Structure 1
């Protein structure tokens, strides 16, 4: 698995988890979904992605988007 796929999989997992928590636990968890969406938008504009930095430090090899 390369870095691009790891970041996308992590973002998708976090969105699904926040939606499930918002539905079953408290609607306040939907703010996590908002935060993830804003982070994805800023990463597409600035190229800065905290998740990519963490995965890179964990040894995941770079893909074409995060070199």
Structure 2
């Protein structure tokens, strides 16, 4: 798994988890959903995301550009 695949996986898990927590536990969890969305938007412009750094430290490799 590459960093980009791991990033998409983590964003999907965090989004789904925060939605479920917002529906079944407390609506304040929807703020976390918003945080994930805002982080995805900012990373589209800056090409930097804290999760990419963490996934790199976890041993995932960057994709090879041909």
Q: TM-score, normalised by structure 2?
A: 0.94
CA distance in 2, matches of 1:63, 1:34: 28
Q: TM-score, normalised by structure 1?
A: 0.92
Structure 1 runs not aligned, ≥5 long: none
Structure 2 runs not aligned, ≥5 long: none
Runs of 4+ that moved beyond 3 A? none
- Tell me the matched-pair count: 65
Residues 6-48 of structure 1 deviation map (CA, whole Å, 9 limit, x = unaligned): 0000000000000000000000100000000000000000011
What's 1:61 paired with? Answer: 61
RMSD, matched Cα: 1.3
